[in-house]
Structure 1
C-alpha cells in the first residue's frame, strides 16, 4: 500500500511537471486545448439524448398519424446546431494541438540543451547525468504524449462521470460494479508497469552502448573502416545480443500483462452485459420508453468506453511517468557547480598551479599529486609525455573544466574557483583533440561560431583561413566560405580529416584570445603544412600565452619551455636545448623519434 501511494505521488509530481512545461510555454494554446477536449466529451452523450428524442417523437408520430415536418423542426434545429458547434470545437482542438506539437520538436530539445549548459562541463562527465540525458532524448515523444494522456484522462473521467450520473439514477448497481472492476485493473496494471520500468532503468548503460554501435554502423565514415576491417559483424553481433535480450525480457512481461488484460476485458464485458439485461427489464416493465432505452444503452456504452479509456490512459500515464520521472530528475535533482564572482579582465594572466592534486569524479585514483607549475604571461609552453601521462587533463584543470582535488590554481594570484568562469573562458581559444566538426554549418560559420561576441567579416575569416593554411582549398569550393560542410545537405561537400583540422585551427586564430590552448592541433596534417601553421601560430601569438600538447617534437622545439609529464608528475622542464643536454626522458624520446625520420 505504501509503495502504491508513493507511485501515485510520483505520477502526480511528474504530471504536474509536464503540465507546467506546457502552461509556461503555451499558456493560451494549452488552456484552449484542455477546454475543447472536455467540451468534446459531451458530444456523444448529447447525441444519444437527441437520438432518444427523435426516436420517441417518431414513434409518437407513427402511432398518432401526425405527419407535419414542422413537428420535428425543434429537434432538427438542435441536431444541426449541436453538429456545427461540436465540429467547430473539434477543428479548434486539432489546430491548437498541431501548433503545440510542431513547437514541441524544438522546445524540448532546447530545454535539454539549456539544462546541460547550466549544469556545466564537469557534471557532463557524471555517468548518471549522461544516462538521464540519453533517456530524455529517448522520451521526447513520450513527454508530449504524457500531456495528451493527462488531458484524455480528464476528458474520459468527465465523460465517465456524466454518463455515470445518468446510470446512478437508473441502474446504480452497474455503475458500482464498473468501479470495482476499474480498481482491480489499476492494481494489476501497476504491477506490470513497475516491472517494465525496472528493466528499462537497469539496461540504460547497455542501451547507450548499443545506440553508439548502431550509429557507427549507420554513419558512412566509421562504417567504411568497419567494412574494410570486417569489424561490422563484430559490432552487429553485440547489437543483436542486446536486442535479443531486451526484446525477450519486455516480451515476457507484455505477454503476462496481456493475459491479465484479457481477464479484465472479460470482467468488463460481463458487467456491460449485465447492464443491458437490467435496461431491457426496465423496458419490459414499461418503466422507460423506446427512446429512453436507446439513451440508456448509449449512456451505458459511453460509460463503459470512457471507463476503458480512463483506465487505459491511467496505464499509459503510469508507464510514461516511470520513464519520464527519471528524465525529470535531470531538471530537478542536480545543481551546477558553484561559480566564482570575480570578473577576470580580458588579458594574458599569470597562471600558477600550486601543489595541485586531482582525481576524476567517482574514482579514487589520483591523476596528479603535488603538481607545481608557473606559466608567465606571453610564455609559449609545450607539454609532452606518453599517452596517459595526464597532458590533456592538466589543461582541462587550467580551463576549470574540472576542479582540482587538492592544492590551488591561481590566475593573477586569484583562486580560479573564485573567478566567474565565463570571464576566464572568454580569454581562452581552445582546440582539443576531439574538436567539433559543425557539418550543418558553412566554412564561415564554422570559424565564427566561437567568436559570437566579435563582429566577423569576409576579411577576418579569410585571414584566419590563411594562417591555418586552409585558404587554398576553401577557395576551390564551389561556394567558397559559404560552402556547407556535409554531403548530406544540398551542394554540400565533405572535407578530409586534415582539412577539418585546419578549419578548426582557423577558428582558434579568428577567436583572437589572449591564451591559446592547442591539444595535438596538427595530428592529421602533413609535415610541410604543419611547419607553416606553427610558424603562423608563434607569429600570431606574440604577447599571448600558448600551451601546446603534442607528440611531435618538431612542433614543440620552438617553445619557450617544454614540460615533460610522466605518470602524473612533472619530471623535466626547460627549453629544447636544455632538455637535450640533460639527456633525460625528453632527450631519449626525441632521439627515438628523430631516428624514425632518418
Structure 2
C-alpha cells in the first residue's frame, strides 16, 4: 500500500515537473518572440474548425449527389453541388495557405529559439569555473544540455496538440450527438490508454538515453579519434585503426543492443494496443451501420459519422504520440533548464575589487593547499613571495605540482586552503575581468585556433586586434616571420577549413607567445609553452622573452633547468611541496634537489 502510494506521489511529482517545464518553455518562447508565438496560436485555432466544416460539406455534398442521381431530380440540385464543391475547394485552399504560413512562422520561431538556447548554453559554459572541467560529470551535463535542442520539438508539438485536442473533441461531440455518448466515452478511454502507454515508453527511452550519456560520449570520442587530424599521425604510425575501430564497434553495439531491446518491447506493446483500438473502432462502425438502418440516416450522414469515427481512431494514435513526444522532450528541456539554472561560478559581485593598474608590491602566496576530487593534496603548504618585476622560474619533476600552482596563480583553481595576494588584494576578491586584463598566460597545451593569424594573436588583446603596428611588434618579439603568411594577418590557419595553412608546432608556439606580447598584462605566466622546442632553442626563447618583458613580472614553468639561469629566483617543487628556492648559483651550491636535477640534465649534452 505504501509502495503504491509512493509511486503515485512520484508520478504526480513527475507530471507536475513536466508542466513546470512546459510553462518555462512558453515563457522562453514569449521572450524569444511573442509575435511569432501569437501568430502561431492564431493559425492553429483557425485550423481547428476546418475538419468539422469539411465533414459538414461532405455530408451535404453526398446527400445532394444522392438526390441528384434519382430520376426526375431538379437540375437546380447540380447548381447546389457546384456551390458545395467550390466551398470545399476554397476551404482546402484556405487550409493550405494557413499551413504554409504556419511552416514559415514555425521555422522562424525555431531558428530564434535554437539561437537563444545555444547562446545561453554557451554563456553558461563560460561561467563555469575551470576547476570543474576536471570532473567528468560536467561533460555529461553539457552533453545532456546540448540535447536540449530536441526541446525545440516542443514548440511544434505543444501548439499542434491544441489543434488536435479540439479537433478530436469536435468529432466526439458529433459521435455522441448523432450516435451514442457511451461510444464517445469508449473512444476517450482508448485515447487515455494509448496516451499512458506512449508516455511510459517515452519515459523509458529518455531514461535509457540519459543513462547512456557516458557511453555515447565515449563512442563519439573513439569516432573523433578515427576521423580527426589530431590522432591521425599516431593511428597510422602505430597502426591503431583496427584497435580503435574495434573499441568503437564494441561501444556502438553495446549501446545499440540496449536500444534494440527497448524498441522491441515498445513495438510489441504498441502493436497490441493498435490491434485493440482497430477492433474496437470497427465494432463501433458496425454499430453505426445498424443504427443508421434503424433510424434511416441519410448516406451523407452515415459517411460523415463514419469519417468522424475513423478520424478519431487516427487522432487517438497521433494525439497520444504527440503528448508522449511533449512529455519526452519536456524531459530533455528539463535537463536544459537545469543546466541553465546552474549558479554562475565566476560572475562578479559588488564586493569584488578592481585589479590595480600597476602592481606596487608583488605576489604573495601564503600556506597554499590544493587538492583535486581524489582528496590528495597536489599542493601542500606552499608559501613564497614574488616582487614586482621579478623573473621567476618554477621547476620540478613531472607531477610535482608546477602547472597546478600556475592555475592557482591564474585563478583557474580555487585553493583548498591558504591565500594568494596581488599587492593587498586576495585573488578571490578581485573582479575577474580586470584580473585577466592585467595577468596573462601561455600554456603548454595552447590552443591552435583554426582562424586567421590576426585572431590567433589578437585573442591576447581583443580590443587591439586591428592594430597592425601592435600585431607586427608582437610577432617580431616572438620571432615569427610574417612573410610566410601569404595574406598577412588575414591568413587562415589550420587545415579544418578551406584555404587554411598548416604550421609546425614551433610556429604555433611562437603564435601563442605573440598572444602574450600583444597583451597589456603586467604579469605573464608561461606554463612550459616551449616544451616541444629543443633545449637550446628553448633557452634562446626564454632569454629573449625575459629581455623583452622589460619591467613586467614573469613566471615561467619548465622542467629544463638550462632556461633558469637568468631567473631572479627559482622555486623547486617536489610532490606538491616547495622544497628549495634561490638563484641558479645559490641552488647549485646547496647541492640539493635542484643541483641533482641540473647535474643529470647537463650530462644529456656531454
Which interval holds the TM-score relative to the shorter structure?
over 0.9
Tell me what 1:371 maps to.
382
Paired with 1:476 and 1:369, the residues of 2 have a C-alpha distance of 47
Tell me what 1:17 maps to.
24
Higher mean displacement: 406-415 or 183-192 = 183-192
Tell me what 1:458 maps to.
468
Paired with 2:422 and 2:389, the residues of 1 have a C-alpha distance of 14
Secondary structure of the corresponding residue to residue 563 of structure 1: strand
- How is 1:475-486 mapped onto 2 (pairs within 5 angstroms)? 475-486=483-494
1:563 aligns with 2:571: yes
- How is 1:505-520 mapped onto 2 (pairs within 5 angstroms)? 505-520=513-528
TM-score normalized by structure 2? 0.92
Count of residues in correspondence between the two structures: 593
Structure 1 counterpart of 2:176, from 168, 172, 175: 168
Gaps of 5+ in 2: 1-7
Tell me what 2:597 maps to.
589
Tell me what 1:331 maps to.
340
8 Å CA contact 1:223–1:232 kept in 2: the answer is no
Tell me what 2:412 maps to.
401
Secondary structure of the corresponding residue to residue 546 of structure 1: strand
Paired with 2:276 and 2:214, the residues of 1 have a C-alpha distance of 41
1:521 aligns with 2:532: no
Tell me what 2:67 maps to.
60
8 Å CA contact 2:437–2:520 kept in 1: the answer is no
CA deviation digits over 1:442-488, x for unaligned, max 9? 00111112312336322211211111111x2x422332221111333
Tell me what 2:423 maps to.
412
Tell me what 2:5 maps to.
none
Shift of 1:22: 2.4
Shift of 1:288: 2.4
CA deviation digits over 1:246-272, x for unaligned, max 9? 111111111111111011101211221
Paired with 2:463 and 2:483, the residues of 1 have a C-alpha distance of 26
1:431 aligns with 2:442: yes
Shift of 1:73: 5.3
8 Å CA contact 1:123–1:336 kept in 2: the answer is no
8 Å CA contact 1:351–1:412 kept in 2: the answer is yes
CA deviation digits over 1:318-357, x for unaligned, max 9? 3333344233311124442574521122323621111111
1:236 aligns with 2:209: no
- How is 1:294-313 mapped onto 2 (pairs within 5 angstroms)? 294-313=303-322
Tell me what 2:550 maps to.
542
Structure 1 counterpart of 2:369, from 357, 373, 377: 357
8 Å CA contact 1:469–1:532 kept in 2: the answer is no
Structure 1 counterpart of 2:580, from 556, 564, 572: 572
Residues 333 and 456 (structure 1), Cα distance of their counterparts in 2 relative to 1, 3 Å cut:
closer
Tell me what 1:390 maps to.
401
Tell me what 1:40 maps to.
47
Tell me what 1:3 maps to.
10
Tell me what 1:490 maps to.
498
Residues 191 and 536 (structure 1), Cα distance of their counterparts in 2 relative to 1, 3 Å cut:
same
1:265 aligns with 2:274: yes
Shift of 1:315: 2.1
Paired with 1:490 and 1:189, the residues of 2 have a C-alpha distance of 46
Shift of 1:558: 1.0
Shift of 1:76: 4.0
Secondary structure of the corresponding residue to residue 99 of structure 1: helix
Gaps of 5+ in 1: none
Shift of 1:512: 2.7
Residues 45 and 227 (structure 1), Cα distance of their counterparts in 2 relative to 1, 3 Å cut:
farther
Paired with 1:412 and 1:497, the residues of 2 have a C-alpha distance of 37
- How is 1:208-227 mapped onto 2 (pairs within 5 angstroms)? 208-227=217-236
Residues 36 and 215 (structure 1), Cα distance of their counterparts in 2 relative to 1, 3 Å cut:
same
Paired with 2:344 and 2:293, the residues of 1 have a C-alpha distance of 69
Secondary structure of the corresponding residue to residue 207 of structure 1: helix
8 Å CA contact 2:29–2:113 kept in 1: the answer is no
Tell me what 1:380 maps to.
391
Shift of 1:104: 4.8
8 Å CA contact 1:438–1:446 kept in 2: the answer is yes
Paired with 1:39 and 1:67, the residues of 2 have a C-alpha distance of 35
Residues 555 and 34 (structure 1), Cα distance of their counterparts in 2 relative to 1, 3 Å cut:
farther
Tell me what 2:165 maps to.
157
8 Å CA contact 2:148–2:335 kept in 1: the answer is no
Structure 2 counterpart of 1:502, from 487, 494, 510: 510
8 Å CA contact 2:194–2:317 kept in 1: the answer is no
CA RMSD after TM alignment: 2.1
